């Protein structure tokens, strides 16, 4: 909402600069650090002092004489060396905030254009680990933000069911342990934990006799062709693992629109179609000699982006005819933009949501409203270590002449997750604060184990605070509340750090009811709701309508109350900026700051026992604005909001 006022101020100043100085200038408009300095301010006079060869304050005073306060403002002042400060009509703005949607459809969004967000993308060969949780949370928060802003958004989860990781688990079952396909099917849950151990075992088994790697090659070939016992075992392993992965992600309220299986990309010859395009345009060439003899490579030495690399050329098809990961990813990216000229067949995964790409014999047909792909922008949430491969995918699109789509192929990169020393020790590892994960060695923190620990820690915290045995007088299930707190703790921790930072996950920090945490946001909302509950018990109004707020005297808005209203009015632009820059920590930061401002006024401005009706209603109005604004941010962050804590 404040963005609209910012635009009004910019327009008034733009016209004033033109009328007074004959300048065509777009003035900066910002929120000053203190409310006594106004609600919006512009340093344009300081920026133009050299050009106009006048003192900044003199420029500001001339503008002050030439412009009138825009609608919704009651005065303009000049402060300091030449800042133009604009003061809002507090009562009118607060009344408008009562009925405003904190985060609404953005005026800059074209809902007809689809954004595809691909995230999670866990190899279906073992249990998800803590690093996968950061990927999934970032992708989910981004999708929630885009949808809240009115953007048509499709969430995809790529299932690499023909890769070397699945092949190794198949080798582990069939060749190392001597299992049949029926034996694999009969294994009990948690199946992903069984595969976690198998995967590390087979790595050591290969080390014992490198000739055993021939079994991996044979299995990879079987997975790609889809034929034989090894392919059957691979399909079973991948499907059972995907079921487990979806269950893990459901624990933190993450779901998907489409599961895209790599085996379907191969079965439907997506890469063949993409490869023909690459050959026709000269984007790839066949190497007759050298270390890449017999391979099809994408020559990148002449590309400015890849200059300086020792070996810039990238193999797309190996000499044995198998396709590299990046080759399949180029084909997949072309399909996402609707540039491949062919489509998948679809079915419901396990008869329910989400959809999956599926062979025709199981195809139930996608609903008319469920048309996948054909995005106008594609955002791939993949860790920063994959930046080189993502650049090659873009280079492939550019080589095919798809410059716009290459520009709109966005790599949402993020750094890895480690454990704090204390949390590592709690989970049974050494106290190294930078525990290095290694799936091949079986070293790492399984996502479900971490969630179990978070729920246990949350439950202990609840019981300690309440002094009960699991159910309070209202019949609330403490286990449910513990889950809600755990979800908030995990999701907020993953979202709050800038994506360029390696984060050390700490269970105590994440579950703290104070400070920068998900439970702190939950506690803040519960505290606000408790005010309304107590008002109801006293027979008083629980909400103040905007019409009543519009009639309140100006004197009821102390600076700290007003500061919270003004800060809440910035939710829209914060979410828009976060979605545009992919820096989702901006949303988390704004949510925490909003909660801290509420706690700061909570004791200074009591509501229940205030005798002055105007003051009581002003304070209740501010609480309403806070509650609705934080609810909106929490929904985007995926932080569940319990009724009680």
Distance, C-alpha 460 to centroid of its chain? 29
- Residue 365 pLDDT > 70, yes or no? no
Q: Which of 410, 265, 260, 399 is CA-nearest to residue 328?
A: 265
As to burial, measured by CB atoms within 10 angstroms (0-12 exposed, 13-18 middle, 19+ buried), residue 55 is middle
Q: Which of 355, 400, 409, 379 is CA-nearest to residue 246?
A: 355
Structure tokens at 322: 């198998």
Residue 126 contacts residue 192 (beta carbons within 8 Å): yes
User: What is the model's pLDDT at position 369?
Assistant: 47
User: What are the pLDDT digits (tens) for 282-341?
Assistant: 999 999 999 999 999 999 888 878 877 878 889 999 998 888 889 999 999 999 999 999
User: What are the pLDDT digits (tens) for 246-286?
Assistant: 999 999 999 999 999 999 999 999 999 999 999 999 999 99
Question: Lowest-confidence range among 184-193, 357-366, 447-456, 505-514?
Answer: 357-366
Q: For residue 125, what are the CA distances in angstroms to 46, 163, 305, 386?
A: 60, 9, 34, 20
The C-alpha atoms of residue 560 and residue 596 are separated, in whole angstroms, by 12
The C-alpha atoms of residue 421 and residue 430 are separated, in whole angstroms, by 8
User: What are the pLDDT digits (tens) for 568-612?
Assistant: 999 999 999 999 999 999 999 999 999 999 999 998 999 998 999
- Residue 368 pLDDT > 70, yes or no? no
The C-alpha atoms of residue 237 and residue 169 are separated, in whole angstroms, by 8
CB atoms within 10 A of CB 332: 23
Point out which residues pair with 412 in neighbouring strands.
381
Structural domains for the chain = 2-88 (3.30.1360.70), 418-505 (no CATH), 518-637 (1.10.730.10)
Q: Which of 237, 236, 261, 257 is CA-nearest to residue 160?
A: 261
- Residue 525 pLDDT > 70, yes or no? yes
DSSP-derived 3-state class of residue 481? helix
Structure tokens at 603: 């004791």
The C-alpha atoms of residue 220 and residue 217 are separated, in whole angstroms, by 5
User: What is the model's pLDDT at position 325?
Assistant: 86
User: What are the pLDDT digits (tens) for 45-83?
Assistant: 999 999 999 999 999 999 999 999 999 999 999 999 999
Residue 578 contacts residue 584 (beta carbons within 8 Å): yes
Mean pLDDT of 618-634: 98
Mean pLDDT of 15-22: 96
DSSP-derived 3-state class of residue 507? helix
Distance, C-alpha 554 to centroid of its chain? 40
Structure tokens at 312: 């810039």
Q: Does an H or E element contain 83, and which?
A: strand 83-88
pLDDT band of 443, cuts 50, 70, 90: low
DSSP letter (8 states) at residue 70:
P
User: What is the model's pLDDT at position 433?
Assistant: 44
Point out which residues pair with 446 in neighbouring strands.
129
CB atoms within 10 A of CB 375: 25
| Cis amide leading into 190 (omega within 30) | yes
pTM above 0.85, yes or no: yes
User: What are the pLDDT digits (tens) for 465-506?
Assistant: 877 655 554 446 899 999 999 999 999 999 999 999 999 999
Point out which residues pair with 317 in neighbouring strands.
296, 323
- Residue 380 pLDDT > 70, yes or no? yes
Q: Does an H or E element contain 248, and which?
A: helix 228-251
Contacts of 548 (CB under 8 A, 6+ apart): 617
The C-alpha atoms of residue 63 and residue 17 are separated, in whole angstroms, by 7
Mean pLDDT of 428-452: 70
């Amino acid at each position: 909402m404040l963005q609209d006022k910012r635009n009004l101020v910019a327009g008034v100043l733009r016209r004033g600069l033109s009328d007074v100085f004959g300048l065509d200038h777009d003035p900066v408009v910002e929120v000053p650090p203190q409310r006594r300095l106004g609600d919006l301010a512009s340093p344009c006079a300081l920026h133009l002092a050299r050009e106009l060869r006048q003192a900044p304050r003199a420029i500001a005073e001339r503008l002050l004489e030439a412009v009138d306060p825009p609608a919704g403002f009651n005065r303009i002042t000049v402060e300091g060396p030449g800042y133009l400060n604009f003061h809002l009509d507090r009562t009118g703005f607060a009344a408008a905030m009562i009925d405003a949607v904190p985060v609404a459809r953005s005026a800059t969004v074209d809902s007809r254009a689809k954004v595809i967000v691909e995230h999670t993308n866990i190899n279906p060969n073992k249990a998800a680990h803590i690093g996968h949780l950061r990927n999934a949370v970032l992708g989910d928060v981004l999708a929630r933000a885009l949808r809240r802003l009115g953007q048509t958004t499709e969430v995809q989860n790529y299932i690499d069911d023909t890769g070397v990781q699945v092949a190794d688990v198949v080798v582990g079952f069939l060749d190392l342990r001597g299992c049949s396909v029926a034996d694999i099917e009969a294994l009990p849950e948690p199946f992903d934990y069984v595969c976690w151990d198998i995967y590390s075992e087979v790595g050591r088994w290969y080390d014992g006799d490198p000739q055993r790697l021939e079994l991996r090659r044979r299995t990879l070939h079987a997975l790609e062709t889809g034929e034989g016992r090894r392919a059957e075992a691979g399909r079973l392993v991948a499907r059972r693992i995907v079921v487990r992965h979806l269950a893990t992600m459901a624990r933190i309220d993450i779901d998907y629109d489409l599961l895209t299986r790599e085996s379907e990309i191969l079965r439907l010859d997506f890469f063949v179609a993409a490869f023909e395009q690459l050959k026709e345009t000269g984007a790839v060439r066949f190497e007759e000699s050298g270390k890449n003899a017999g391979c099809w490579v994408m020559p990148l030495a002449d590309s400015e982006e890849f200059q300086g690399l020792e070996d810039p050329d990238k193999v797309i098809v190996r000499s044995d005819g198998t396709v590299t990961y990046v080759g399949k990813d180029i084909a997949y990216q072309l399909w996402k933009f609707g540039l491949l000229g062919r489509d998948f067949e679809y079915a419901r995964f396990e008869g329910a949501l989400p959809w999956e790409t599926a062979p025709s014999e199981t195809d139930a047909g996608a609903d008319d409203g469920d048309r996948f792909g054909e995005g106008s922008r594609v955002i791939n949430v993949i860790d920063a270590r994959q930046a080189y491969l993502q650049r090659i995918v873009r280079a492939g699109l550019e080589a095919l002449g798809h410059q716009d789509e290459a520009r709109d192929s966005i790599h949402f990169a993020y750094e890895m997750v480690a454990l704090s020393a204390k949390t590592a020790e709690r989970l049974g590892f050494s106290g190294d604060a930078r525990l290095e994960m290694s799936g091949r060695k079986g070293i790492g923190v399984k996502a479900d184990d971490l969630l179990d620990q978070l729920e246990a820690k949350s439950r202990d915290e609840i019981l300690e605070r309440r002094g009960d045995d699991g159910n309070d007088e209202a019949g609330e299930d403490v286990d449910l509340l513990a889950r809600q707190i755990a979800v908030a703790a995990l999701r907020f921790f993953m979202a709050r750090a800038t994506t360029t930072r390696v984060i050390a996950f700490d269970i105590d920090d994440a579950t703290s009811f104070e400070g920068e945490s998900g439970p702190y946001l939950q506690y803040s909302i519960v505290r606000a709701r408790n005010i309304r509950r107590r008002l109801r018990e006293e027979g008083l109004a629980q909400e103040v309508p905007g019409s009543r707020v519009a009639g309140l005297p100006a004197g009821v808005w102390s600076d700290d109350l007003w500061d919270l209203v003004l800060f809440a009015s910035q939710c829209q632009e914060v979410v828009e900026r976060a979605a545009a820059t992919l820096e989702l920590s901006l949303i988390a930061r704004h949510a925490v700051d909003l909660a801290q401002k509420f706690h700061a006024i909570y004791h200074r401005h009591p509501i229940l026992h205030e005798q002055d009706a105007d003051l009581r209603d002003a304070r209740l109005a501010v609480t309403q604005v806070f509650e609705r604004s934080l609810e909106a941010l929490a929904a985007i962050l995926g932080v569940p909001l319990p009724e009680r804590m």
